[in-house]
A and B are shown apart, each in its own frame.
Chain A
Amino acid sequence: MKKRLLIANRSEIAIRIIRSAHKMGMYAIVFQSDKEPDALYLKFADEIIDAHDADDEKPIFLNPNKIVAFALEHEVDLIHPGYGFLSENPDFVALCISKKLNFIGPSPELIRDMGLKTVAKKMAIEAGLPLVPGSEGPVADVLAAKEYAASIGYPVILKASAGGGGRGMRIVENSETIERNFKSAYDEALAAFGNGDIFIEKYLQNPKHLEFQILGDKHGNVIHLGERECSLQRKHQKIIEEAPSASVTETMRKEMGTMAVRFAQKIGYYSAGTIEFIMDEDGSYYFMEMNTRIQVEHPVTEMITGVDLVDWQIRIALDEVLTLKQEDIIIKGWAIECRVNAEDPQNRFTPQTGFIDKIQFPQDASIRIETGFLSGSMVTPYFDSMIAKIIVHGESRSKVINKTMEALNKFNIIGIKTTAPFCKAVLQHPYFKDASYTTRWVDLVYSPEMLEDPDDEMIGALAATIMYASEYLQLQGDIPAYENDALNVWVLNKRLNY
């Protein structure tokens, strides 16, 4: 009998997981949320569970009890959480396990440990990974924070022990403002995570974000699949990712990769995971944290290694042995992922909602499109703003940059503003081209004028004129020196040619 795999997620990642499920001969089941009842991913599933979540406080994807109850009712074998939502919620995983549902991911203990940054750091120290100078564990109070900050030197960063997504995080430039910042970080962390523990670290002013993809099985085998660079971020969230990174030499790759594998082995990690590093301007790097889920940017790694990470996640959950050896992992070429988010890059990345009148993607053997939307789809305010990922593979970094530009030029979306023009501006920028860009690019370099293009502007003026003129002429009737129908004749002529 076919195994039944339930996907506790939506949009592009649901479709991505369905693809793997079908490849492995499984039956793919998804939830239909009332918040998004016509979503594209529903069309790919073998079975749809009506979640009836219209009156619920949260959508189905954030409701552990309801997911598990439905899973039992529908005789599900495995649950894939995707990313976000409950993918790194240890209580949800424990609940699945207690009901004999096979959760695709690591154990709840591993997720809990990696979710608590102070615990993760302690384990990293034990595995011999370099750490940014910082407090070993939460600091007791404002006074202790002040003392410690003075000992490592400003600027420092305050972070919530249970935090993520920038919440409970404060950068402190000097001793005068640490008191105020400590209090607000504490309050924010307590409100957001129910845990007000704060630790302190030296703040790297202009760092790069690097991460190593690892795969481990339940039999102690762990390999790494090289690094991704995800330095291009706005509001601490990634927009463009690439693999490999131009800032990692072959020697460093070996060194950091070995560290990542050693760390995963030490904690007994299994499933797909990501070990994040932060790199300073002088090339020194430090362990940041471990993510215990499949990541949004996993396709860039898949493109350069040819390894299907979601397939392996499922196989590992089924207790299979990881047959890939480290020497099997060969990096071929370069890949870039651009996230097309429904956000206005001309207006501080404000989320956009509404109908997508038209969406057209570039098509090519070296381009991979991951999306949960099509023409006529609705972007709702209930979920994250990502509409699509455009992933491009090429022989070399410079070639893939050009190919990605071409791909973005062919991409068209009408009805909603997106980050696609922003991605184009990044790809054309000298700091991206020479790979010196850091996580501070948006703060230090970006201005919305970079999105503008003289050709676009001129054609925009023409379009505005045509629209204005056609109304104007209707109102004015006959005017000297201007044939009333001249405009329409041009438009008509042009249209007849196509």
Chain B
Amino acid sequence: MFIALRDNGKRYKIYIPRESNPVIDGNEQEIDFIEQEDFQYTFEWNGKRFHCELVARDQNKATVHVNGVEYKFSLESIFSYIRKGMISDAEDKNTSVQIKAPMPGKIIDIFLDEGDLVNVGEPILTLEAMKMQNEITADCNGVIQKIRVNHEQSVMKDELLVEIQSIDV
């Protein structure tokens, strides 16, 4: 996952998964890749064509022309983004989000590992309670920092399940 920050402050979280469409700010977008040449891409999305040309690169800064209009971005991988975030708001310290058990039950399945990227709404684990299976989903975008429970483990209400290093401000 990468963060593209525009010079006007607008920020995009972009995840390009294997064999599926790119996920931008948590939403999968049906973007078609039409053409690629050196520093030039053409996309199609919502019936519109987007002709992109990379016109300047300076380290992690990129200037792109999209349909003839210039946009400037600075780019970070999520890891350097989080690292920078941790340095800059050291006193704020906690960008860590805790996912707690909404009810007592048993952990049936865990879908992700520590270090995995997660988007808002993405299922992390299944909690069985009163014969019902409940998917526990992420309520922020980020990286799974710590999984506090094991398979088949029984948990109390409000017991800590997972910690996510959030990239949402």
Contacts and interface: CB of A to CB of B under 8 A. Distances in A.
Contact of B54 (A459, A467, A480): A467
A387 B33 CA distance: 29
Interface string A440-478: 000000000001110111111111111111001000100
B71 A468 contact: no
Contacts of B121: none
Interface in B1-48: 1-2, 4, 6, 10, 12, 14, 16-22, 24, 31-36, 39-41, 43, 45-46, 48
Given A456-B66, A468-B60, A462 B54 contact: no
A323 interface: no
B16 A466 contact: yes
Given A460-B73, A461-B6, A491-B36, A409 B48 contact: yes
A: interface residue count bin = 35 or more
B2 A421 contact: no
Given A455-B48, A460-B73, A463-B64, A491 B33 contact: yes
Given A462-B22, A490-B16, A493-B19, A451 B73 contact: no
The secondary structure that dominates the B interface is strand
Given A456-B50, A463-B54, A413 B75 contact: no
A140 interface: no
B116 A481 contact: yes
B146 interface: no
A489 to B, nearest CB: 5
A22 to B, nearest CB: 33
A469 B14 CA distance: 10
Contact of B75 (A420, A465, A498): A465
A2 interface: no
Given A455-B48, A460-B52, A479 B62 contact: no
Interface residues of B, number: 54
A420 B60 CA distance: 29
A415 B60 CA distance: 22
Given A453-B69, A468-B2, A481-B116, A461 B24 contact: yes
Contact of B43 (A420, A462, A487): A462
Contacts of B45: 455, 459
Contacts of B51: 412, 414
Contacts of B43: 459, 462-463
A329 B17 CA distance: 62
B143 interface: yes
B31 A459 contact: yes
A325 interface: no
B18 A490 contact: yes
A455 B12 contact: no
Contact of A465 (B4, B17, B66, B67): B4
Contacts of A346: 69-70
Contacts, number: 148
A366 B62 CA distance: 39
Contacts of A452: 69, 71
A486 B18 contact: yes
A347 B135 CA distance: 52
A463 B34 contact: no
A23 interface: no
B114 to A, nearest CB: 9
A231 interface: no
B163 interface: no
Given A417-B65, A462-B31, A455 B79 contact: no
Contacts of B64: 460, 463-464
A486 B17 contact: yes
A481 B118 CA distance: 10
A414 B53 CA distance: 7
Given A461-B24, A467-B39, A490-B33, 20 more contacts: A412-B49, A414-B51, A417-B68, A456-B66, A456-B69, A457-B66, A460-B64, A461-B6, A462-B4, A462-B24, A464-B4, A464-B62, A464-B73, A468-B62, A479-B77, A479-B79, A490-B21, A491-B33, A495-B36, A498-B33
24 contacts: A357-B53, A409-B49, A412-B51, A413-B68, A414-B51, A414-B53, A415-B53, A451-B69, A455-B45, A455-B46, A455-B50, A459-B43, A460-B64, A463-B50, A464-B4, A464-B54, A464-B64, A467-B62, A469-B2, A481-B113, A481-B115, A481-B117, A490-B20, A495-B33
The 9 A-B pairs at the shortest CB distance, nearest first, are namely A494-B33, A463-B52, A461-B4, A461-B12, A456-B66, A486-B18, A460-B66, A468-B75, A464-B62
